[in-house]
Structure 1
């Protein structure tokens, strides 16, 4: 059969398709061609069925709206393709990045320093012994750090106060000192004026209209743009945190002994940059020079410096969605998957060693059991100036309590000073061993595993599998637990219900890994708000059911169960709900008016005085009308609540009311699920395990298998970080 040829004209009047700029240098596609191809394909198929050979000319009328829609669709598709072309899909050939050499060429623009200190106004001073005192700028800046935090819990901590004051006095000694007083007592210092100044600035910043905040954000992003990306082997990759941390007071986590110490301002002379040999060196800030320039292509960092609090090295690396971080994550999770092949052998071995005649073997076996079963970290020695956090190997006599026959209570500070408190049942031989490890002459302060440290433990692990450490066990058990939990979830219900079930599985992993968090201060207010929202929706639903009965009283007899709940809403309760709803509506209206008023004030400089006056008058008039309308509605609702007789609109029918009720039922169900999820996750951090311990391919598998949009499970940041998992895992993937 010969193929028919069809020529087409698209009649669109004088409309011109808009030109597009693409991210790549690809030739711009013709809008006309897109439409013609789409239509001609249909005609060709029709003619093919008829077996026609003739050449036809067909005129198709297309509206302006249709062409614009086609242009927009084509533009989006082309832009998406351009983005795909720009993305470096390292996961398609991960072995290419698997060697010791990280890069051949590396070019970047260095780091971004915090702005210089802005001196306090002359009227704002530190008061010492009741009198204002003048300070050198360096010392004044340090008082500002404390003054800005004056009403916080940190500033009320005696350790924080002591460390701050010691460092403040050091800065005074390093500079010209205070000419007005010999500052020797923290208790004589009054920071209230400084606090008031910074608190006022915070409020002013908060009160800025959204347009001003947006403009400030755009200006900030424009300044940051040059630091956001680097060029590695000719490809563009995003840099992680290119900001040098500003000076301030160290806070630390938990009861950190150095809380309140001064974090000094980092200078260019403190910084080492890592670049390709042929790459230009970024210009240092005026009057400064870089500490060192290196060309080490076996490492992935771009800059480094030593911070003064703990003497730790800080690095600027590529972002979480970079190829370096991605390949590192993939290796980590594949190493955990590899453990599946060895874990049974390891468990058999340590179970045997639990009864060994060698004390070192018993300690290795017992520690491995705790790491395997309870996901404890290995732990290591801490310096005196570090927080007293411990792991398995560094557990002390006082950190465990034994309750026969086989209950162990763990109570210690884990990583980030998070309390690890669990009462667990252990193997009977493990219990006997721990009783031996606590035997006299041991006392509080003595190590439980006195013959063991992480290096000995890891050496034991690596006898079974190359690269095996306690952390691999933790990743393996977290991912295995998640897999087991997901396997129990039935593939039924709404997306919202599936997300709640996923979060419940995630929570089991977070509990296993002890990923606790302090319940947020706003949690209770959030719970109350959701409860009130549910209550108001139930009120609206019952109102609609009562209106249905006003239209037809016989409906109740036909379906008693459907209308049963209307008796639950008393006049007193309805009046209470209406009063609360009314107050919230008026507050919303006032806030909206205040926002519009601030926005107009911000735009004032761009208009004449008369124009501003007119617009402000229009805004007030519009708000007045809205307020009057709201008050009328409130009056009506209050009257209805007293009588429980409701206004019947001419458009009401039983069918329409039923549809509204069904929608409310769905909203109540979803909000109730949200409330349940919020309450159950209040003291547990789901993000830590999802980001670091659960193989992301499990989340992708769940998304694809259960038809849950990945956006419901991964934030935008995690979708970028785990792009490799999203593209490589399918609905049948297994850990």
Structure 2
């Protein structure tokens, strides 16, 4: 779908409203500029968290805070007295907690009114004559950068974005909107190939940031369909693709052997391709960026992979590869380069895959593996049309878990997980003692089983990005289960096309 018209009102830019706080630095009182105050308040709000125990986080923040204050040399938390800000925040917290129901209701209504006004003005774009929702029309406010995993920049101050930093994507027939806080936009362009509304460069990391059309926008739904259809095309051609990779593993050309070995690992281990990481990001690894220390060659011919993947999630897996893969990896490591696949980038990997299947990229493999793992689990689920909904939901969750395992979507255990499990177990005990209906007991048992099974995995990422929702929809028709009973509201809207006439072919689940 080509974009010929793109009209919108720009983006909302948050502005910090200073209170006029003062702090003490080494005993001397300092008046703060709005930016300095914003930094100080952000730090004080972190005092009750574990972040202040992180030496890297603390060092990075106070390096930036000292610079903002114009202080030469090293500063530490002990140099500062934030008592005035702490007292004010505590007073505000107490004031809000002490509000009457009527006051809280009035405050909530006012916030809702402002949200609705902002959404009406900034929340929609006209694309080729059709109104389409914008995903997040407010640009990022200034904040302490949190990062993921052991990110080296965690604790650094990320300055806010101004109109002068922002480029708007508008078609020639669109009226250029006025910036919300005055000033002028950096530039106005028209990129008919992309779905972004506004862009700017992150002042901390130098990365480009974008405001996009919502996932519910028709044009994005079309691209979702194309993505999943490509995965099913791969399913039909997987043997041909693997034969192509197998031939490459034996090639006399060193570069082709390296590329084919990368492709083998992407398919076998379901790895990301690996070279999209920015230099300032945490040490995350994919297929093309594997280093010798990430592999252990075992005496039984197996290889153990141990490295940090995306979001610094540890990836440990042992495979028993064909002899040629074992031999290739040994050879590549013997070259003595920092990375095993020196000279191989994602562009070369994708070009090699496209030789056998046009449009095939490394990313398609993860969608294929996640969707087929889910489909296989649902096909094997011991469930019938007459079974209650809770049993069908349980098997839907277990199938989702298979995709999360395939993609290694590990998570940190939520703080209240143990307590939540304990309460469910206690509730089960009470139900048994009261001799409650068997169905209630069985339903809670399955919830406990699912909670334990999914303990270490984030199921939402695969459900949102990697599993074709038609897998659940087709399975649901067979067993009389509406797929929307499993998907959250936001994803029901994103995948509304599943129930449309253009849902394309059944997937034979």
Asked if 1:282 is matched to 2:177, the reply is: yes
Deviation, structure 1 residue 192: 5.4
Q: 1:215 to 1:278 in 2, by over 3 A?
A: same
Question: Superposition pairs for residues 309-328 of structure 1, below 5 Å?
Answer: 309-328=204-223
1:438 is paired with a residue of what secondary structure?
Answer: helix
* Aligned match of 1:185: 75
Q: 1:279 to 1:363 in 2, by over 3 A?
A: closer
CA distance in 2, matches of 1:258, 1:474: 29
Q: What count of residue pairs does the alignment treat as equivalent?
A: 501
CA distance in 1, matches of 2:363, 2:107: 43
Structure 1 residues not aligned, in runs of 5+ = 1-96, 542-660
1:526 aligns with one of 420, 423, 441: 420
1:342 is paired with a residue of what secondary structure?
Answer: helix
> Over residues 266-321 of structure 1, what are the superposed CA-to-partner deviations in whole Å (9 max), with x where a residue is unaligned?
11111122223233222223542222223443432221111111111211121110
CA distance in 2, matches of 1:500, 1:425: 33
Deviation, structure 1 residue 248: 0.6
Q: 1:687 to 1:134 in 2, by over 3 A?
A: same
1:244 is paired with a residue of what secondary structure?
Answer: coil
Normalising by structure 1, report the TM-score. 0.64
* Aligned match of 1:118: 18
* Aligned match of 2:429: 535
CA distance in 1, matches of 2:345, 2:98: 54
1:508 aligns with one of 385, 398, 402: 402
Deviation, structure 1 residue 204: 4.8
Structure 2 residues not aligned, in runs of 5+ = none
Q: 1:204 to 1:518 in 2, by over 3 A?
A: farther
Aligned partners of 2:133 and 2:214 also within 8 Å: yes
* Aligned match of 1:349: 244
* Aligned match of 1:696: 469
CA distance in 1, matches of 2:82, 2:293: 41
Deviation, structure 1 residue 383: 4.7
Q: 1:720 to 1:382 in 2, by over 3 A?
A: closer
1:237 is paired with a residue of what secondary structure?
Answer: strand
CA distance in 2, matches of 1:528, 1:472: 40
Asked if 1:710 is matched to 2:476, the reply is: no
* Aligned match of 1:230: 125
Asked if 1:678 is matched to 2:454, the reply is: no
Aligned partners of 1:270 and 1:306 also within 8 Å: yes
CA distance in 2, matches of 1:414, 1:523: 24
Aligned partners of 1:247 and 1:263 also within 8 Å: yes
What RMSD, in angstroms, separates the aligned Cα atoms of the two structures? 2.4
CA distance in 2, matches of 1:666, 1:206: 41
| Structure 1 or 2: more helix by fraction | 1
Question: Superposition pairs for residues 626-665 of structure 1, below 5 Å?
Answer: 661-662=436-437, 665=438
Asked if 1:396 is matched to 2:287, the reply is: no
Q: 1:282 to 1:358 in 2, by over 3 A?
A: closer
1:331 aligns with one of 226, 231, 234: 226
CA distance in 2, matches of 1:398, 1:191: 45
Asked if 1:483 is matched to 2:383, the reply is: no
Question: Superposition pairs for residues 90-489 of structure 1, below 5 Å?
Answer: 97=1, 101-103=2-4, 105-120=5-20, 122=21, 125-173=22-70, 184-186=74-76, 187-191=78-82, 193-202=84-93, 204-205=95-96, 209=101, 211-212=105-106, 214-224=108-118, 225-380=120-275, 382-439=277-334, 442=336, 446-489=338-381
Aligned partners of 1:150 and 1:192 also within 8 Å: no
Higher relative contact order (CA 8 A, sep 6+): 2
Aligned partners of 1:700 and 1:730 also within 8 Å: no
2:405 is paired with a residue of what secondary structure?
Answer: helix
* Aligned match of 1:666: 439
CA distance in 2, matches of 1:195, 1:514: 41
1:511 is paired with a residue of what secondary structure?
Answer: helix
CA distance in 1, matches of 2:168, 2:25: 43
Asked if 1:733 is matched to 2:503, the reply is: no
CA distance in 1, matches of 2:81, 2:290: 43
